[in-house]
Structure 1
């Protein structure tokens, strides 16, 4: 697979990781309709665990990278971008949804 070369390196690297997530989660999960908010949240929690599982692989790849390569992957940026994605998911899970308030209906008729 070839990425567009004009993408910033951290974005391109993060996209590579994110493209692998549906395969890691299983195709049946990616195509299954959500039946409740709890189902979605459970899947998002699993996604957070998948993102956490990437960390050792990133450190392993960084340890095996050649220091004299002309173009190197910035592993710090990759870890930061994955942390941003994870943080966004955690924020979504931990932020209470805003329930609609009971609003008094408008009269609509302003004549005396």
Structure 2
């Protein structure tokens, strides 16, 4: 009987272990993505400062920064929460001309 309980316990741990590893990898990837988005926001600020108001194509930097901020905030929410709960999010614009 003890052997059966030990076997079930061992198989449960072995079965669940990869799930924790994936979660850790996902968390690391999201942390990296958050860091990269911070760098991208700096690039967007630089592009906005160097933009040509008389150019053929105008970029809506306010909308772009707003969408990037929403994406970054969503990632922060995931990284800071212990449980993932479904929620509705406002759509990002995606059109920056």
- TM-score class, shorter: 0.5 to 0.7
Counterpart for residue 53 of structure 2: 67
Give runs of ≥4 in structure 1 deviating > 6 Å: none
**1:97 and 2:83 equivalent?**
yes
Counterpart for residue 37 of structure 1: 23
**For the aligned residues, what is the CA RMSD?**
1.9
Gaps of 5+ in 1: 1-33, 99-112
Q: Alignment length, in residue pairs?
A: 65
Counterpart for residue 33 of structure 2: 47
Which structure features the higher share of helix residues?
2
Alpha-carbon distance between aligned partners in 2 of 1:63 and 1:36, rounded to the nearest angstrom: 40
- Compute the TM-score of the two structures, normalised by the length of structure 2: 0.59
